[in-house]
């Protein structure tokens, strides 16, 4: 049995779901993987922060947050307000970086992850920014320090799109990626097919907490562009940023267009594509009509799909249906297990 100390930087919905999952899976982690995770540091945005080298009581932390109280009383020693100092004081083996991030440069998440890696901690994040803007640098730093930088939850929640490519299809050269990667727009399009207007569908997505108050990041294809950039960066081993994606959202998809597609036996989907060409990689986010000859046709609501074309396999598709709040948390758990137990197939 080996104990691993975890620092949770950011303790919102994802961090809290991860804490619950750690408790639920404690016995299985011990029995099957000989792993005993102990959370020794938690930093929230506005609910304080705590460090305790002997382990923080996660039930107590969750109860404090739910009842609107501060975490500070759980701290056994001073917990620095500065995030870098907090990481350095945490004494953790693995950092979980889930703070608010800028999608323009991946900061401050990149700095947090770099600080952890430099101290010899593994770093795990559900933030796309550090992948899009820092993957190659951070991965090289992790390798140099003998630790891992993992980020399974950044695209398709906890579905193993990165792990599958990294661990299970070695030596496959991926030349094309296609996917429906944004839940909000797919939910809106699905609801519009059922007769709702665009605004009604947006309001529904907001009411269940899927869409933001300002839904433009999803609706204009920006989130999709970041996700396809992350996939290109990692799966095609080529740095790629969202500004290079030829991007179109779903605002032009009227109820009339949806009815016309239906009459043809087709559906509108916001499709992300990336293609390796002789002159570089071409990436696009745009609405497209798809028919029943493609798996994307069956992708309803918040379900997502990615399809990979390579030199050694027929097209390989991964579909994640019915994601739940624990799906993203599970991606963090999978990264934890893979970080501490294994090395990649890559030499």
Kindly list the residues in this chain that would bind a copy of itself in the complex (CB under 8 A): 21, 25, 28-29, 32-35, 152, 157-160, 163-164, 167-173, 292-295, 297-298, 300, 303, 307, 312-324, 326-327, 330, 333-334, 337-338, 341-347
Give the count of alpha carbons within 13 A of 96, CB side only.
36
Beta-carbon neighbour count of residue 340 at 10 Å? Answer: 18
Q: Which is nearer to a copy of itself, 24 or 251 (CB)?
A: 24
Give the Cα separation of 31 and 184 in Å (integer): 38
Q: Which is nearer to a copy of itself, 92 or 329 (CB)?
A: 329
Residues with Cβ within 8 Å of residue 52, at least 6 apart in sequence: 40, 41, 74, 75, 76, 77
Query: Whole-number minimum distance, CB 331 to a copy of itself, in Å?
Result: 9
Q: Which is nearer to a copy of itself, 69 or 298 (CB)?
A: 298
Distance set, CA 326 to CA 13, 19, 153, 157, 318 (Å): 10, 10, 11, 9, 19
Query: Whole-number minimum distance, CB 295 to a copy of itself, in Å?
Result: 5
Strands 246-247 and 122-125: unpaired
Query: Whole-number minimum distance, CB 294 to a copy of itself, in Å?
Result: 6
Query: Whole-number minimum distance, CB 146 to a copy of itself, in Å?
Result: 16
Q: Which is nearer to a copy of itself, 60 or 321 (CB)?
A: 321
Query: What's the DSSP call for residue 168?
Result: I
Q: Which is nearer to a copy of itself, 202 or 332 (CB)?
A: 332
Q: What angle do CA 313, 185, 106 make, to 5 degrees?
A: 75
Query: Whole-number minimum distance, CB 321 to a copy of itself, in Å?
Result: 4
Q: Which is nearer to a copy of itself, 120 or 292 (CB)?
A: 292
Q: Is 227 a catalytic residue?
A: yes
Residues written for the chain: 347
Query: Whole-number minimum distance, CB 324 to a copy of itself, in Å?
Result: 6
Query: Whole-number minimum distance, CB 173 to a copy of itself, in Å?
Result: 8
Active-site option among 5, 227, 269, 284: 227
Q: Is 45 left (phi over 0), alpha (psi -120 to 50) or beta?
A: alpha
DSSP E strands, the chain = 2-9, 35-43, 49-51, 94-97, 122-125, 149-150, 174-180, 246-247, 267-277, 280-290, 304-310, 316-320
Residue 298 tokens, joined: 């069956």
Q: Which is nearer to a copy of itself, 106 or 158 (CB)?
A: 158
Residue 119 tokens, joined: 């101290």
Question: Catalytic positions, please?
Answer: 227
């Amino acid at each position: 049995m080996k104990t691993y100390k975890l620092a949770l930087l950011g303790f919102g919905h994802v961090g809290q779901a991860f804490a619950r999952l750690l408790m639920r899976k404690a016995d299985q982690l011990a029995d099957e993987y000989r792993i005993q995770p102990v959370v020794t540091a938690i930093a929230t945005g506005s609910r304080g922060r705590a460090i305790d080298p002997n382990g923080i009581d996660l039930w107590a932390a969750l109860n404090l947050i739910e009842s609107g109280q501060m975490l500070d009383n759980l701290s056994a020693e001073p917990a620095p307000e500065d995030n870098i100092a907090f990481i350095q004081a945490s004494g953790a083996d693995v950092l979980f970086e889930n703070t608010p991030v800028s999608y323009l440069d991946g900061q401050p998440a990149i700095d947090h992850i770099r600080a952890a890696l430099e101290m010899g901690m593994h770093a795990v994040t559900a933030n796309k920014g550090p992948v899009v803007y820092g993957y190659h640098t951070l991965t090289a730093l992790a390798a140099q320090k003998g630790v891992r930088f993992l980020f399974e939850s950044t695209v398709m929640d906890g579905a193993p799109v990165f792990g599958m490519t990294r661990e299970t299809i070695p030596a496959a050269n991926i030349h094309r990626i296609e996917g429906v990667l944004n839940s909000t727009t797919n939910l809106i399009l699905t609801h519009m097919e059922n007769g709702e207007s665009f605004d009604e569908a947006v309001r529904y997505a907001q009411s269940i907490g899927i869409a933001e108050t300002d839904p433009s990041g999803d609706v204009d294809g920006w989130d999709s562009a970041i996700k396809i950039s992350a996939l290109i960066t990692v799966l095609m081993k080529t740095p790629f940023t969202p500004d290079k994606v030829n991007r179109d959202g779903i605002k032009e998809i009227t109820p009339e267009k949806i009815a016309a597609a239906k009459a043809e036996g087709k559906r509108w989907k916001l499709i992300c594509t990336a293609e390796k060409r002789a002159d570089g990689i071409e990436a696009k986010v745009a609405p497209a009509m798809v028919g029943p000859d493609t798996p994307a046709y069956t992708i309803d609501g918040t379900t997502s799909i990615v399809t990979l074309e390579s030199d050694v396999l027929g097209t390989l598709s991964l579909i994640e249906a019915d994601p739940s709040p624990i799906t993203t948390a599970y991606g963090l758990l999978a990264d934890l297990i893979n970080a501490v137990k294994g090395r990649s197939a890559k030499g």
